[in-house]
Amino acid sequence: MKYISTRGNTESVTFKESVMMGLARDGGLLVPCEIPNVTDKLNDWMHLSFQELALEVISIFADDISKPDLKIIIDESYANFRHDEIAPHVKIGDFYILELFHGPTLAFKDIALQFLGNVFSYILQLRGGSLNILGATSGDTGSAAIYGVKGKPNINIFIMHPTGRVSPIQEMQMTSVIDKNVFNIGINGTFDDCQYIMKSTFSDLDFKDKYNLGAINSVNWSRVLAQIVYYFYSGLKIMKNYGSSSVRFSVPTGNFGNIFAGYLSAKMGLPIKELILATNENDILSRFFNHGDYTLREVLPTVSPSMDIQLASNFERYLFLKFNQHESFRSFIEHGTCKVEKERGYDIDPIFKACKGTTEETLNIIRKYYKNYNYVLDPHSALGVLAAEKIKSNIPTICLATAHPAKFSNTINDAIGMNATHEVLEALKGMPTQSDNVENDVNSVKQYLVDKLNNS
């Protein structure tokens, strides 16, 4: 399997090369040259464990890693999850809640980042050298990325977060990791600012090459690939157990990586009838899928901070696959905005349904599900459930629970008058923390990296 850039000016690369490249050298995102159809494998895959299914799915796209080696990587990646199924589901009311928060940092990002950290180590063992990861987080990616690579030889990780715009617990999870290869950077701005700094730094190819920069955000293709697994795992399991011929998913959406993995799963042959895209008040993606309008607005702080995003990185991958030769894609590349006019024959995939939820609606859903079912949703997962309620269907609906509610205890307290807790987070309280504030400026962050690497 080869990978090409969405912008067409990078030579095709292998899976291992794509992992180390992260962002394509022309500034685009890497996508597979073809989307394989696996319809004939679905009956066999219904009976596999999560790890077994991961091996089957990932090996299709990572065919430059031997299956025995890939099995070791996958088994190591999920050995420290707190649930044997890795991604179990529970029936709550009318929906199946897919719990993706049983990893080390209690967020769905662990499923991809534990895998990516081990792939990085595997490649470095083969080829030698070192890797300096630069990442940006709106909340959960930071701690999951740090836990994915901390302590690994020849890897340093620099994670930028918007100061004051992640939850206190999310910040504590990141900054309490005191490790010589971990650097937390506070940026006075938004996640979009952090992401802009990251992409601008990667675009300086001389700097990227000199300091062996790597990407751990979902611009790295392997992040999306690892997420495809739980769409197949949960979809096939519910179809098998409940006699359904299809399913639909409701996905809290910020950077478009998670739901894009669902889109690819459907393209591969998983019978997904609908992908419900749930946003908060930062509704650029729901505006696009409802009205064809992707126009930037100011980022608003909400109770679902991991979704407080306007510039959704993975959206470029979707536009490339759907509208590669259309002026909307060129407009997106040149200006960061685009419009799709249905009357001109360029329609948006009907598989997508989109819905915006407000802070008040989010809190009300948390209250409702706690009162009616004694089940606590985190504010991001609550938006997914809210969207599924608004967009009704008789098709079995899988709502992605992307984080443990204890990561957002203040919001949970506001909603139901009690704190959500977890022993992993309780153990962090009172621990020393380490973080540096750096100017919201590309050159300032570059200089910070250089200074830290020269002193390491």
How do residues 169-196 score in pLDDT, each as one tens digit?
999 999 999 999 999 999 999 999 999 9
Q: How far apart are CA 403 and CA 424, in angstroms?
A: 13
The residue ranges of DSSP E strands in 109-240, in sequence order, are 131-136, 155-162, 182-187, 213-214
The yes-or-no verdict on residue 345 having pLDDT over 60 is: no
pLDDT one-digit tens code per residue, 118-133: 999 999 999 999 999 9
**Contact in structure between 38 and 46 (CB atoms under 8 Å):** no
Span of 87-91, 208-212, 307-311 with lowest mean pLDDT: 307-311
Q: Is the pTM of this model over 0.85?
A: yes
pLDDT top residue among 96 and 306:
96
pLDDT at 368: 99
Which residue ranges make up each domain of the chain?
89-105+222-420
Amino acid 343: pLDDT: 46
The stretch 262-269 carries a mean pLDDT of 99
Share of the chain above pLDDT 90, in %: 87
- Percent of the chain residues topping a pLDDT of 70: 98
Provide mean pLDDT across the span 242-258.
96
- Cα separation, 214 vs 399, whole angstroms: 32
Q: How many CB atoms lie within 10 A of CB 341?
A: 12
Q: What are the tokens at 253?
A: 């959406």
What pLDDT, on the 0 to 100 scale, is given for residue 346?
59
CA distance 382 to 302: 13
For the segment 159-166, the average pLDDT, to the nearest whole number, is 94
pLDDT tens digits for range 429-450: 999 999 999 999 999 999 999 9
Alpha carbon 131 to its chain's center:
21
CA 402-404-406 angle, 5° bins? 145
**109 classed as catalytic:** yes
Pick the CATH number of 89-105+222-420 from 3.40.50.10260, 3.60.15.10, 3.20.20.70, 3.40.50.1100: 3.40.50.1100
Q: What is the pLDDT of residue 383?
A: 99
Taking residues 352-371, report their average pLDDT: 98
3-state SS, one letter per residue, for 344-381: HCCCCCCCEEEEECCHHHHHHHHHHHHHHHCCCCCHHH
45-48: long-range contacts, CB 8 A cutoff, minimum separation 24: 45/232, 45/236, 46/236, 46/237, 46/239, 46/240, 47/240, 48/233
User: What residues have CB less than 8 Å from 115, skipping those under 6 apart?
Assistant: 54, 58, 73, 74, 77, 222, 226
CA angle 146, 148, 152 (to 5 degrees): 90
Q: Mean pLDDT, to the nearest integer, of 102-113?
A: 97
Among the ranges given (76-85, 251-260, 300-309, 346-355), the one the predictor scored with the smallest mean pLDDT: 346-355
Name the average pLDDT for the chain.
95
Please report where in the chains the tokens 């962002």 appear, as a residue: 23
Residue 218 predicted with pLDDT over 80:
yes
**pLDDT at residue 331 in the model:** 77
pLDDT beyond 80 at 456? no
One-letter identity of residue 444 = S
Closest CA to 238 of 36, 372, 41, 46: 46
Which residue is catalytic, options 16, 109, 353, 429? 109
Per-residue pLDDT, averaged over 247-260, amounts to 97
pLDDT at 279 over 50: yes
Q: What confidence category does residue 352 fall into, taking pLDDT thresholds of 50, 70 and 90? A: very high
